[in-house]
Each structure stands twice: as structure tokens, then as C-alpha cells.
């Protein structure tokens, strides 16, 4: 490798370090730089890197617009607005809950209100945050009436949106919050008490299931198992 190649590699590494510094305390996992790209001059390489992330940001924006206009299932009839999701691309963790509640439906963001603030506490305890290195969404994007569980047909109608989000966002690990998300993501009918506490594979990614924050607020006995699940999640990220 000649001097210009070395400079290209060093410049690229510097941009990634700066990006990681802004986004959070941990280095982001990335695919290795193709040798051909690394051998180009720094300016075209950086431009190409920015274009790829830019393309995915645009694709995510278009997907969110599609979700906001969706009427594929009856849940569209009772919503104030659909709630696509929030967070960063290439997150360390993608949190997946079951569906928007009343506050989420009103504000258009997932996990807001007391359960959302509690989830933020959980994330902070393992050095994560929705602003820096997490993406948060739900299995269904529209509020089920009376906060009932989403019906299987509603989950199936909404499933392609979640799958496209996972593909676009590219998390390292998935955290399923609550029974509905855990059962859907593991294709299992086991209760959350049996699905939590171990690592699963989901869409080719490591996945941990735990109780839903709103359930833990009602049942303090679940705090300890949640902490065990969060430690498991952190250990997967750190390995
Ligand atoms: S829940 Fe999903 S499939 Fe149903 S209307 Fe909302 S976005 Fe569309």
C-alpha cells in the first residue's frame, strides 16, 4: 500500500471515530472496508460512504411516510396517527414493543410517557440511549383500541414494515419488550417468563426478550429479571 492508500485508510478511520464519538461511547460495528474502496483517494471514498448512509436515511423517510399513510388493517380506523419509530441508523440495539399506547398515538413517537421514561432508564443503565445508539419501534404501528393486544391478522399486515425497518436500520442486537413482541419474534407461544433470560436468533441477529416496561411498573417483582436481561444484552454487545 503506498502513501496515498495509507492516507485514505487513516482518513476514513478518523471520520468513523468522529462519528462514533458523536453517536455514543462505543465504537459502531461496521462491515470491513472493501480493499478497492480503501485504495481510492479519500474524497471519493468519503463521498461514497456518505451517499450510502444518505440513501438509507432517504429510504427510511419514505418508509415512514408509507406507514403514516397506511390503511392495510382495521387499526388505521382508530388511530390519531401511525407511529413508525425513532432512533438512529446502525444502532447497537433495536427495541421492539407491541404497539403504540394512548400517549404514543397522540404524540406520534414510540415509548413515551411513564413506560418510555422507564425504558430510557433501562437503556441508560447499560450505557445506551435512544438519541445515540438505539432505534425503537413496535410490532404494529397503529394503536389497538383500549390498548388490547394486536390481533394476529393485524400483526401479519404490519409485519413487512418491521422487516423493512430491520433491513434498513441494521441493528446489532434486538430487544423484544413484552410478550407480544417476544412471541412474534421467536414464532413461539411460550410466555414471556419462559422466553426471557436467554439469547435467541431473529432475522439473523441476536435477540433478547424481557418484560414490557409498563408491565414492570405495575409489577416490581419483574425488576430483577429485567436487570438480568439487560446485563445479557450488554454482554452480547461487548463480546
Ligand atoms: S397497524 Fe400497520 S398494517 Fe395496520 S394500518 Fe397501521 S401501519 Fe398499516
Q: Is 82 exposed, middle or buried (0-12, 13-18, 19+ CB in 10 A)?
A: buried
**Crossing angle (nearest 10°) for helices 223-238 and 113-125:** 50
Q: Is 157 in the pocket of ligand 1 (CB under 6 A)?
A: yes
pLDDT at 54: 81
Residue 3 CA to residue 236 CA, distance in Å, equals 38
pLDDT at 34: 37
pLDDT at 29: 40
Nearest ligand 1 atom, CA 73: 4
Judged against a pLDDT cut of 50, whether residue 21 lies above it is answered with no
Q: Is 71 in the pocket of ligand 1 (CB under 6 A)?
A: yes
Is 139 in contact with 158 (CB distance < 8 Å)? yes
Judged against a pLDDT cut of 60, whether residue 223 lies above it is answered with yes
For 69-107, the pLDDT digits (tens) are: 999 999 999 999 999 999 999 999 999 999 999 999 999
CA 142 – ligand 1 centroid, Å: 6
CA 82 – ligand 1 centroid, Å: 7
CA 21 – ligand 1 centroid, Å: 36
Judged against a pLDDT cut of 60, whether residue 25 lies above it is answered with no
Q: What is the mean pLDDT of residues 12-24?
A: 39
Q: Is 195 in the pocket of ligand 1 (CB under 6 A)?
A: no
Nearest ligand 1 atom, CA 140: 1
Q: State the first-to-last Cα distance of the chain, in angstroms, to the nearest integer.
A: 31
Residue 209 CA to residue 181 CA, distance in Å, equals 8
Report which of residues 14 and 176 the model is more confident about: 176
pLDDT at 177: 98
Q: Is 76 in the pocket of ligand 1 (CB under 6 A)?
A: yes
Confidence of residue 47 (pLDDT cuts 50, 70, 90): low
For 162-177, the pLDDT digits (tens) are: 999 999 999 999 999 9
Per-domain boundaries in the chain: 59-238
Q: What is the mean pLDDT of residues 170-194?
A: 98
Q: Is 141 in the pocket of ligand 1 (CB under 6 A)?
A: yes
CA 94 – ligand 1 centroid, Å: 20
Of how many residues is the chain composed? 239
Q: Is 235 in the pocket of ligand 1 (CB under 6 A)?
A: no
For 109-122, the pLDDT digits (tens) are: 999 999 999 999 99
For 200-222, the pLDDT digits (tens) are: 999 999 999 999 999 999 999 99
What CATH number should be reported for the domain whose range is 59-238? 3.40.470.10
Ligand 1: residue whose CA is nearest its atom 3? 158
Amino acid at each position: 500500500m503506498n502513501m496515498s492508500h495509507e492516507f485514505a485508510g487513516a482518513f476514513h478511520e478518523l471520520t468513523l471515530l468522529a462519528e462514533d464519538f458523536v453517536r455514543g461511547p462505543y465504537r459502531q460495528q461496521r462491515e470491513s472496508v472493501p480493499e478497492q474502496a480503501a485504495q481510492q483517494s479519500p474524497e471519493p471514498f468519503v463521498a461514497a460512504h456518505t451517499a450510502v448512509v444518505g440513501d438509507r436515511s432517504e429510504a427510511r423517510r419514505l418508509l415512514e411516510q408509507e406507514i403514516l399513510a397506511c390503511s392495510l388493517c382495521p387499526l388505521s380506523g382508530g388511530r390519531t396517527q401511525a407511529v413508525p419509530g425513532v432512533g438512529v441508523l446502525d444502532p447497537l440495539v433495536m427495541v421492539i414493543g407491541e404497539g403504540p399506547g394512548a400517549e404514543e398515538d397522540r404524540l406520534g413517537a414510540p415509548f413515551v410517557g411513564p413506560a418510555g421514561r422507564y425504558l430510557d432508564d433501562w437503556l441508560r443503565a447499560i450505557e445506551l440511549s435512544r438519541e445515540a445508539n438505539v432505534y425503537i419501534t413496535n410490532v404494529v404501528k397503529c394503536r389497538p383500541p383500549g390498548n388490547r393486544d394486536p390481533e394476529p391478522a393485524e400483526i401479519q399486515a404490519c409485519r413487512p414494515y418491521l422487516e423493512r425497518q430491520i433491513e434498513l436500520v441494521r441493528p446489532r442486537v434486538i430487544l423484544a419488550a413484552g410478550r407480544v413482541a417476544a412471541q412474534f419474534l421467536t414464532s413461539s407461544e411460550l410466555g414471556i417468563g419462559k422466553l426471557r433470560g436467554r439469547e435467541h436468533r431473529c432475522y439473523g441477529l441476536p435477540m433478547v426478550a424481557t418484560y414490557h416496561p409498563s408491565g414492570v411498573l405495575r409489577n416490581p417483582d419483574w425488576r430483577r429479571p429485567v436487570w438480568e436481561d439487560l446485563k445479557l444484552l450488554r454482554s452480547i454487545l461487548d463480546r
